[in-house]
Amino acid sequence: MCCNSMASDKQVTFVIVGGGIAGVTCAEQIASQFASDDVCLLTASPLVKTVTNFKQVSKTLEEFDVEEQPSSVLEEKYPNLKVIQSAVKLLRAKEHLLQAENGQTFHYKKLCICSGARPKLLTQDNPHVLGIRDTDSAQEFQKRLSKAKRIVVIGNGGIALELVYEVEGCEVIWAVKDRAIGNTFFDAGAAQFLIPSLEVDKKERSLPCKRARYTTDKTGAGQSGATGELGSALGPDWHEGIELRGTEQNSSGVHIEYECEVDKIYTQQEFLQSQLDTNKSELGLWPAYVQLTNGKIYGCDFVVSATGVVPNTDPFLSGNNFELAGDHGLRVDDHMRTSEQDVYAAGDVCTAGWEPSALWQQMRLWTQARQMGWYAARCMAADVLEEPIELDFCFELFSHITKFFNYKVVLLGKFNAQGLGQDHELLVRCTKGQEYVKVVLTGGRMVGAVLIGETDLEETFENLILNQMDLSRYGEELLNPNIDIEDYFD
């Protein structure tokens, strides 16, 4: 097989870049469909992520486990698939040529870029600011936390939510730019439902964990690429098996600062020398100080920056003509094609550039990385075979199943009334400490839902959203807990 040759120039039919969920799913799919063609998976990280225990929960909801495995596992399964651990240095798209850090050059027919994304750090190269992305950075966080009394967490997405919930023995100052926590996933009502969980003592948080478990290779092999920056993104339960404990004996609580962002971060020396109009000695002596846009200043051991991600596009851009989206992702069409011929992209690195279904939106999540990787492989295959292909059904309805604060969370469609303006109404049912159910209706039809807790409503609501039945005549009865809604619509 050409891929195996020691020569530094290789002809390969399919090259996939990235050993995360998108890249591995794409490589597996294409390697099984084109068993007599060479497939190369080039990745910066020594371990690859594979999907196991895949379960289709309903028409669009899916659950799976993710395991980090040595690349040999893939090569044993697909004899035509070669995994090469080396980061891509350069792409010359017009020449269909890719160069890796290890000196090898690949001439491909079809290329799929699945290089993920990296944390958008508040500031670069500040030793007091940490981003969490891969296993390495999670371990660095754990190490720093074990010596910390107070940390400041910036950001309001899934990572920040999990982090403030999991950290114990350390005071957490959590600065969110919105009026409510978890704005990416929830509205203020859901946030209000979840907040008491932050106050419950760790020992009492014993609800069973139902979410997909994330496992890493037990050998503890090096986790990220040579540059130390290119490991694949963690996913659900990234904190499993990592004790997130500070120096304090008791849980030290979470203090939330709403509607603010970071104005400035000072080192201890900068702070002490600053002309700030504040009683410095009252704030205590800390390694770093964070000034928020609401004027408040907090001393802390370090800052966790969890303010979103930036697609890893750098090595691919120079000399090429990629169309980038507003979020800097590689813009792809409904066949996962970038603007460069024969170059596809999937997962966190890409931005969906097609006109989306009224009930779907892109979010950089594990499920979408798998779906896009799989669909990109099918599109590459269809193009090679000159067969037509339609946008996959998984892009019809946004659906995500996860766990926040130990509650099962299901998000469907326009769960936060995204893009609906005033043109919607909400129905909410909430039982404190048990469940929070919200449906989004527009013109009497259900377009989204948030289900927190064991509501057992996901399949019924998914159907109601997909079939766009007019629900006007049911009114609030729709959420009447005394009615078995499944029977209602049978």
Residue 312, interface with ligand FAD (CB under 6 A)?
A: yes
Residue 157, interface with ligand FAD (CB under 6 A)?
A: no
Stretch binding ligand FAD (CB under 6 A), from 103-111, 193-201, 363-371, 378-386: 363-371
Stretch binding ligand FAD (CB under 6 A), from 112-120, 256-264, 289-297, 437-445: 112-120
Residue 234, interface with ligand FAD (CB under 6 A)?
A: yes
Stretch binding ligand FAD (CB under 6 A), from 51-59, 174-182, 229-237, 442-450: 229-237
SS3 letters for the chain?
A: CHHHCCCCEEEEEEEEECCCHHHHHHHHHHHHHCCCCCEEEEECCCEEEEEEEEEECCCCCEEEEEEEEECHHHHHHCCCEEEEECCEEEEEHHHCEEEECCCCEEEEEEEEECCCEEECCCCCCCCCEEECCCHHHHHHHHHHHCCCCEEEEECCCHHHHHHHHHCECCEEEEECCCCCCCCCCCCHHHHHHHHHHHHCCHHHCCCCCCCCCEECCCCCCCCCCCCCCCCCCCCCCCCCCCCCECCCCCCCCEEEECCCCEEEEEEHHHHHHCCCCCCHHHHCCCCEEEEECCCCEEEECEEEECCCEEECCHHHHCCCCCCECCCCCEEECCCCECCCCCEEECHHHEEECCCCCCECCCCCCHHHHHHHHHHHHHHHHHHHHCCCCCCCHHHCECEEEEEECCEEEEEEECCCCCCCCCCCEEEEEEECCCEEEEEEEECCEEEEEEEECCCCCHHHHHHHHHHCCCCHHHHHHHHCCCCCHHHHCC
Residue 158, interface with ligand FAD (CB under 6 A)?
A: yes
Residue 329, interface with ligand FAD (CB under 6 A)?
A: no
Stretch binding ligand FAD (CB under 6 A), from 110-118, 279-287, 329-337, 376-384: 110-118
Residue 116, interface with ligand FAD (CB under 6 A)?
A: yes
Residue 121, interface with ligand FAD (CB under 6 A)?
A: no
Residue closer to ligand FAD (CB basis): 18 or 413: 18
Taking the complex as a whole, the smallest distance from the CB of residue 328 to ligand FAD amounts, in Å, to 14
Using the rule CB under 6 A, which residue among 29, 45, 313, 455 binds ligand FAD?
45
Residue 155, interface with ligand FAD (CB under 6 A)?
A: no
Residue 471, interface with ligand FAD (CB under 6 A)?
A: no
Taking the complex as a whole, the smallest distance from the CB of residue 153 to ligand FAD amounts, in Å, to 12
Residue closer to ligand FAD (CB basis): 18 or 246: 18
Residue 300, interface with ligand FAD (CB under 6 A)?
A: no
Taking the complex as a whole, the smallest distance from the CB of residue 474 to ligand FAD amounts, in Å, to 32
